[in-house]
Amino acid sequence: MGREILMSVMRGWGLWLAGLLTVCLLGTTLARGQAGAPAATGQKPLLSEQAFKNVRVLRGIPVKEFMETMGFFAASLSLNCSDCHSQASASNWANYADDTPLKQATLRMILMTNALNRANFNNAPAVTCYTCHRGSQRPKVIPSLAQQYAAPADEDPDEIAFNSFVRVTTTAEQILDKYIQAIGGAAAAKLTSYTAKGTYEGFDSDFEPVPVDIYAKAPNQRATVIHMRGGDSSTIYNGQEAWAAGPQDLTPVTVISLVGAALEGARLDAQLAFPGQTKQILTDWRTGFPPLRIDNRPVDVVEGKNPEGSAIKLYFDRETGFLVRSVRYSKTAVGTVPISVVYSDYRDVPGVGVKLPYEFVVTWTNGRGTFKLTSLEPNVAIDAARFARPTPPGPAAK
């Protein structure tokens, strides 16, 4: 019964939490009076201690970063909310503030890693939870002979790093030009807007397909609305600002303004929705990464910088030229987490002569969501209100 209640609560978190596969550290009861407070351009974002109670260490960071920090713990130890919180928290947000032995242990570990990084690495997060745990609750202390003499594991696409010793035979410009030609060449500029319908499936939908609508307008506006059973969950970027919203009663903060890496990510997704401009959205392009295969197919990797100087990696199928993966990174209070989007099922957009991916999978430490488009209408008029700050959703269906 407890698991059913937990699943019901988790489904309401919406896209921006994607199932809350996290360890919600240090007591996090929602302070309802602050929930959904509007944040205009230039205003400070809603901080963790404003949205939640009993936050003793992870203070002064935006709510989105706070939840990504929870995801960092989940990825490092392969745990979820109920592992670190009492089972009672599944049915009442207030119970997330209860102290448990695992929460106390995590608090000590944060202080320990902070001290190590301060003393040895000039406060850079060189030592994190993942450094020792690697997905296990107890760090390994005895070397594994089986691992030592096994075949080397494939490179993790999210971690592949630039190697100045790799001989560059294809430039970044050549790889990007091949991609532009693969999706339609000059015809890509003819796509100025589109609406799409399809399905979304993830932990927050209980792994059942639910309807999704996408609205996109060049060069950089995008709104995604997932019609969850408990209410709509949306992510919106209007060209300058971005928001995430979820259904009232089941979402701890109904509407939040995205800042920092979350804002940069929303902008990147909106820009990549119109692939003809890919060469212009990033700068300082470079290649020279070690050979890499994804799904047993060779890929070419290029890296560019966004206006804030953050690195973005794009992975292109060497044979087809299509973009098959993008990876960006978000710095949290305890370390850096990757966010990847895998693109597939490229199809012709009706009447335009451009190919777009009709399936994409978004994966980050808080969860994974699969989007499958069933229809796409190009070059349609879209009401500007679609890209406005969302109104707080009403109560979830009972």
Query: Which pLDDT tens digit goes with each residue over 13-35?
Result: 333 343 333 333 333 333 333 33
Mean pLDDT of 259-265: 92
In a domain, 346, yes or no: yes
Mean pLDDT of 176-205: 95
**How much is the pLDDT for 103?**
82
Instruction: State whether 360 and 228 are in the same domain.
Output: yes
Instruction: State whether 201 and 343 are in the same domain.
Output: yes
In a domain, 32, yes or no: yes
Which residues form the domain of 29?
2-133
Instruction: State whether 182 and 102 are in the same domain.
Output: no
Of 78, 109, 133, which closes a domain? Answer: 133
For residue 263, give the H/E element and its range.
Answer: helix 260-272
* More confidently predicted of 84 and 88: 84
Find where tokens 């790889």 sit.
175
Residue 6 reports pLDDT greater than 60: no
Instruction: Spell 18-52 as b/e; 16+ CB within 10 A means b.
Output: bbbbbbbbbbbbbeeeebbbebeeeeebbbbbbbb
Mean pLDDT of 126-131: 91
Instruction: State whether 280 and 373 are in the same domain.
Output: yes
**How much is the pLDDT for 367?**
84
**How much is the pLDDT for 43?**
54
Based on the structure, what is the number of domains in the chain?
Answer: 2
Residue 179 — pLDDT band, cuts 50, 70, 90?
Answer: very high
Residue 359 — pLDDT band, cuts 50, 70, 90?
Answer: very high
Mean pLDDT of 276-299: 93
Instruction: State whether 268 and 376 are in the same domain.
Output: yes
Peptide linkage before 219 cis (omega within 30 of 0):
yes
In a domain, 392, yes or no: no
Q: For residue 364, which phi and psi values (nearest 5 degrees)?
A: -150, 180
